[in-house]
Structure formats: structure tokens, C-alpha cells
Amino acid sequence: MLPSFQSAKLPIRSTVRGRRPDMGVAMYDVIVVGARVSGAATAMLLSKAGHRVLLLDRAKFPGGKAAATNLIHPPGILRLRRWGLLDAVRATGCPPIHSYGLQSGPVALMARLPAVDGVAEAYSPERTKLDEILLQGAVEAGAELREQVALRELLTDDHGTVIGVRAETEDRTPVVAHARLVVGADGANSTVARLVGAEKYDTSPVLNKSHWSYWSGLPHDGRVRTYRHHHKHAFTWPTHDGLTIVGVALPVKDFQAAPDEERDKTVIAAFDEVDPDFAARLRETERVDRWMTGAVPNFLRRSHGRGWALVGDAGYTRDPITAAGITDALRGAELLAEAVEPALSGDRDLNQALAGYARRRDALVRGHYRYTRDHAMIADHNREELEIIRAMTRSPEHGSGMVGMFATIVPPAEFYAPANIHALFDHVTPGGDPGWKIRMVKWLVRGAPRHLPPVTRLADRLIAANLGSMGTYLLGGSAGRTA
Ligand SMILES: Cc1cc2nc3c(=O)[nH]c(=O)nc-3n(C[C@H](O)[C@H](O)[C@H](O)COP(=O)(O)OP(=O)(O)OC[C@H]3O[C@@H](n4cnc5c(N)ncnc54)[C@H](O)[C@@H]3O)c2cc1C
């Protein structure tokens, strides 16, 4: 049973099983490089399964992490609950979040999160405390933690299989250790990925830049609010210690560096356009931290090879606009541990197990990755898209599905499946004129008259031109229809 984690400063002690690596070449089952969300979780799960794990990080804990906004969606919260860590996260003083809002121009959608295995809550804990809780979980499970040790080289055998690491302490003392598997959980600029030459694929450059900060004195009502308007993406949600995250993302070309006082004005002005009541509250209350800036590129990386694997941001980095990095890191750690555990126990070939992990990782994240990149462009929705989102505000099931898609619960391909969109059209402006393009889309989804193939071809073109990613999914889902 883990102790409760009320305090910000936890003593972290390593449990040393076997020889310490700086006393000679020690042998482990797994060496995990990077001891934050993905690394600590992977080390914890494999240690719990009885494997000898060395967990090393060049940082000294607690602290040392660049600021981020730290929203964890229900699939991430489910993992924390499964691992017995959720009570500790709750005890850090972050309130539960049950609803997400996606407001686009005049259309305001606010819906409850769908449940995933009984979990329908999100949290935005203080990052330092989350890292400590996971790290403590890893150490208590038996992982040997080495702080302020930086990976320098990977050791390989004659066939190029990775068999260990050469690292260095801060005073340049060498640390050499061998293992059957080396896991790179060392973030977007992963040293493991560089050393093995893991290539990136499906890449996009930085699509937007955001600035955000913490505010006090705003009421907490368990809601994430996001707004898209005039090529700006404003966002706010409750976080730890009674504070609220407030920020705005803009396409790269529109973003300008500015002193803090200037940013107060531009952020409040952005909220004036979409939620004047909230903007008024911002004027009455207080920003309690500096403005921080985020700009993240998008890529997947080959996530396995002989004797090595990547997990978390090292293997998959995406724009933070959908706030999914921590959730994905926790799910990725679970996928990796489940895949390699039987091989480490001797029941399966390790390379096959790693290939299976890579396939499942890609299948899990690809749909949301595409959705995130589309979101990250911060393009305003056109009239037809708004009409479809307005229909979602009238159908609680679709509204919940839409925010569930944002929160990595509902795969985009499932949400945009023809049957689901078919049902949504019952909620398109009753009796009004949703526009001839919408009628075309309706025809496409419900099936155009068989004798009118040109109509469906026209509908295809309209969807491609007018419905952004919605259209892409609709076209994909309707492949094979009569036309
Ligand atoms: C602006 C911004 C906002 C974000 N907002 C959210 C959000 O709201 N919700 C969300 O889920 N995600 C968010 N993210 C993403 C999230 O922070 C990452 O997805 C997450 O931190 C990935 O965790 P990780 O453990 O894989 O890697 P990291 O957290 O990057 O940890 C990597 C670790 O590896 C160590 N390391 C690196 N190189 C070496 C080396 N050579 N030797 C030893 N150790 C090494 C580092 O010291 C570090 O401790 C945001 C990111 C940014 C930039």
C-alpha cells in the first residue's frame, strides 16, 4: 500500500536490488532512460511484474520540468486508478473536471465526458507532484532510481542489438549497465532515439504557439472551456491549489512575443470576443505567475528495434492543443509493459513483442494524432461545420461523443462513422434551411438517390472542400456506398 502523498517534498529513496552500476557492470532486465510520466510508469509496471529495472534521469527530483498545462483525460486517470495512485493525485489538491466545452464562433457546446471503464473525470494536477507520485510508485515497486545520471551511449552486440547503456553522473563518473531491453522515455528530444537512429514519420512542424498562466480568484466549476474564434484558440480550466489555467494559442504567423503586461491585454481581449463575462472576471482577479510560451512540433517515431523501445513523448509528440501527452504517456507505458512482460519472463520472443507494441501504439494514437493536428491549425469553422456542431449541442449523446473525441476516449473514426452522423442529422436545424451544402452532406451520409451518381461526386467535392477533418472522416466512412 502506498503512503498518502500530501506533501510537496517527498523523500525518494532507491531500492537497490543487486550491484550498483557504478561499482562495475550490473545486469538488469530493463533500463529506462527518463523518469517522468512515461518512464516512471513503465519502470513501476515492470518492477511490479518482478523484473529488475534501472531507472535513470539526468534531472534531480522533485522539479526540473519545463512548465506545461497538465490536464489528464479520463483514460489517463483510469490508469492512475488501476495502479493505485489516483487517491494520491486527488490529495494534491486538484478538483475533478467532468465537462468539456468546445465553443466555435457563435456555437457553444458544453458536454459531460463519457465514461471509460467507469471513469468520467479529468484532473489537472501540479506537474511536480504528479511526477513525484509516479516516481515513488516506481521506487516502491522495486525500481532502482539513479538521479543526475545522463545517458551518453548505447552498448550493442555484434549484431547491433542494444544490450546496455553508458551514462555519466554530474561529476562525469561513468555508469555502465547491461539489460535485455533499454527503454527511451527521455522526451521529445530523446537521446535514445538519436543514438539508435529512430526515424520520424507523419511529421508536421510547429503549427501554433500558445501563452498561458495561472490565475487566482476564479470559481472552479469542474469544466474545461475552449473557444475557437478568429483564428484564436482560448482555453481555461481549474488546476491545483484553487488556481485556474488561462491561455490563448495562435497560428505561428500570428504569434508575437510581448512583455507580460501586453500579454494580459491580448489574452483578455481574446476572451472579450468569445466570453465577455469571463473576460470581466479576469480583469477583476489576478494573474499569479509569469506568462509561459509553448510551441511543440508533431511527429511519430519508430518506437522499437532490437533491444530498445521508445515510450511517451520520445516516440510520439503532438501539439498540446488537445492536452493529451500525459494521457498518451500513461497508456503507452501500459502498452509497452504488457507487450514485453511475457518476453522478459521467457515466454515470448522480445523482438516480436516489441513489434507488437509498436503496432498497437500506432493503432491507438493515429486517429487522435490526425485530429490534434487539424485542431492545432486553429482554422475557423465554416457555416456547414458550425451547423453540424450546433446539431451536436442538441444531442447530448453526440455532444458527449465530440468532447470524448477531444479527450482521447472516442476514436475520431468511430465518431464520424456514417451511422453516428446519420443520427446527428436528426438534430440539424429543425424546419430551417441548413444550406444546400448540408443537404448534400446529408445525402452522402444517408445515401444519395441511386440514379444520381453525379450528386454523390459533387457531395464528395463539397465535403473535401468544406468540412475539414469532419469531411475526411465522412468520406472515409462512406467509401463503398452506391454511386
Ligand atoms: C506547453 C505544453 C503544454 C502541455 N500541456 C499538456 C496538458 O495539458 N496535458 C497533457 O497531457 N500533456 C501536456 N503537454 C505534454 C506533456 O507535458 C508531455 O507529453 C509529457 O511530459 C511527456 O512525458 P514523458 O515522460 O514522455 O517525457 P518528459 O516529461 O519530457 O520526461 C523526459 C525525461 O527524460 C529525461 N532525460 C532526457 N534526456 C536524458 C538523458 N540523455 N539521460 C537521462 N535522462 C534524460 C529528462 O530529464 C526528463 O525527466 C504539454 C506540453 C507542453 C510543451
Q: Is 320 in the pocket of ligand 1 (CB under 6 A)?
A: yes
Burial of 323 per CB tally in 10 Å (0-12, 13-18, 19+): buried
pLDDT at 483 over 50: no
Q: What percent of the chain has pLDDT over 90?
A: 73
**Are residue 280 and residue 258 in the same domain, yes or no?**
yes
For a mutational test of ligand 1's pocket, the pick from 313, 327, 336, i.e. the residue with the most ligand atoms closer than 8 A to its C-beta, is 313
* CA distance linking residue 110 with residue 392, whole number of Å: 10
Reported as a pLDDT band with limits 50, 70 and 90, residue 4 is: very low
Question: Does residue 91 fall inside a structural domain?
Answer: no
State if residue 226 touches ligand 1 by the CB under 6 angstroms criterion. Answer: no
- At 5, which amino acid appears? F
Q: Which atom of ligand 1 is nearest to the CA of 317?
A: 19
Would 103 be classed as within a structural domain?
A: no
Segment 86-91 mean pLDDT: 98
**Is the sign of the CA dihedral 80, 83, 85, 87 positive or negative?**
positive
Q: How far is CA 208 from CA 253, 263, 270, 293, 427, in A?
A: 8, 16, 16, 11, 33
pLDDT at position 384: 75
CA of 468 to the centre of ligand 1 (A): 30
Q: Are the beta carbons of 311 and 303 closer than 8 angstroms?
A: yes
Is residue 83 one of the residues assigned to a domain?
Answer: no
Closest atom, ligand 1, to C-alpha of 186: 34
β 286-287/162-169 pair status = unpaired
Whether residue 195 has its Cβ less than 6 Å from ligand 1: no
Residue 325's CATH number: 3.50.50.60
Exposure of 301 in the CB half-sphere (CA atoms within 13 A): 30
Decide which of 291, 314, 340 is a domain's last residue: 291
Tell how far the Cα of 187 is from the centroid of ligand 1, in angstroms. Answer: 5
Higher pLDDT, 416 or 76: 76
Report whether pLDDT(16) > 80.
no
Reported as a single tens digit per residue, the pLDDT across 94-122 is 999 999 999 999 999 999 999 999 999 99
How remote is the CA of residue 313 from the centroid of ligand 1, in Å? 6
Total residues found in the chain within this entry: 483
Using the 3D structure, point to which of 265, 291, 317 is the last residue of a domain.
291
Residues 462 and 414 in one domain: yes
CA distance 248 to 237: 12
pLDDT at residue 75 in the model: 98
Same domain, yes or no, for 278 and 229?
A: yes
Residue 8 in domain: no
Is 144 a pocket residue for ligand 1 (Cβ < 6 Å)? no
Is the shortest distance between the CB of 150 and ligand 1 below 6 Å? yes
Arithmetic mean of pLDDT, 330-335: 98
pLDDT (0 to 100) of residue 60: 94
Residue 128 C-alpha to ligand 1 middle, in angstroms? 11
| pLDDT value, residue 467 | 63
Q: How far is the CA of 238 from the centre of ligand 1 (A)?
A: 21
pLDDT at 436 over 70: no
Number of structural domains (the chain) is 3
Mean pLDDT value of segment 31-46: 98
- Report the pLDDT value the prediction gives residue 474, as an integer from 0 to 100: 65
* Closest residue by CA, ligand 1 atom 2: 68
User: Which of 321, 257, 318 has its CA nearest to residue 291?
Assistant: 257
Query: Cα of 136 to ligand 1 centre, how many Å?
Result: 18
CB distance 326 to ligand 1 below 6 Å: yes
For residues 163 and 179, give the distance between their C-alpha atoms in angstroms, rounded to a whole number: 6
Domain carrying residue 269:
208-291
Stronger pLDDT, 424 or 70, i.e. the higher one = 70
- Which of 232, 265, 291 delimits the end of a domain? 291
Residues 131 and 35 in one domain: yes
Give the neighbor-by-neighbor strand order of the sheet with 316-317: 200-204, 298-301, 316-317
Q: How many CB atoms lie within 10 A of CB 364?
A: 18
Residue 71 has pLDDT above 70, yes or no: yes
Q: Quick check: CB of 477 below 6 Å from ligand 1? A: no
User: Domain for residue 115, yes or no?
Assistant: no
34 lines ligand 1 (CB under 6 A): yes
CA of 144 to the centre of ligand 1 (A): 21
Q: Which residue has the higher pLDDT, 46 or 446?
A: 46
**Residue 79 belongs to a domain:** no
Ligand 1 within 6 A of 317 CB? no
Considering the domain architecture, whether residues 322 and 468 belong to the same structural domain is answered as no
- CA distances to 11, 80, 98 from 15, in Å: 13, 22, 38
Task: Please give the pLDDT value at position 2.
Answer: 30
The model's pLDDT over 130-184, given as tens digits with 9 standing for 90+, comes to 999 999 999 999 999 999 999 999 999 999 999 999 999 999 999 999 999 999 9
Query: Quick one: 388 and 362 in the same domain?
Result: no
Judge if 404 and 447 occupy the same domain: yes
How many A from CA of 42 to the centre of ligand 1? Answer: 14
Q: Are residues 154 and 32 in the same domain?
A: yes
- Tell me, in angstroms, the distance from the centre of ligand 1 to residue 368's CA: 19
Pocket probe mutation, ligand 1, options 58, 239, 296, max atoms within 8 Å of Cβ: 58
Mean pLDDT value across residues 207-222? 96
In-domain check, residue 106: no
Our answer on whether the CB atom of 298 is closer than 6 Å to any ligand 1 atom is no
Is residue 396 domain-resident? yes
Question: Quick one: 188 and 322 in the same domain?
Answer: yes
**Overall average pLDDT of the 272-295 stretch:** 96
Residues 350-399: tens digit of each pLDDT: 999 999 999 999 999 999 999 999 999 999 988 778 888 888 999 999 99
Pair 389, 362 in one domain? no
Structure confidence at residue 399 (pLDDT): 96
- Same structural domain, 400 and 465: yes
pLDDT at 314 over 90: yes
pLDDT score, position 458? 53
Is 312's C-beta closer than 6 angstroms to any atom of ligand 1? yes
C-alpha of residue 221 to centroid of ligand 1, in Å:
28
Say how many Å lie between the CA of residue 38 and the centre of ligand 1. Answer: 8
Query: For residue 9, is pLDDT > 50?
Result: no
Q: Do residues 134 and 55 both lie within one domain? A: yes
Residue with cell 468569445: 274
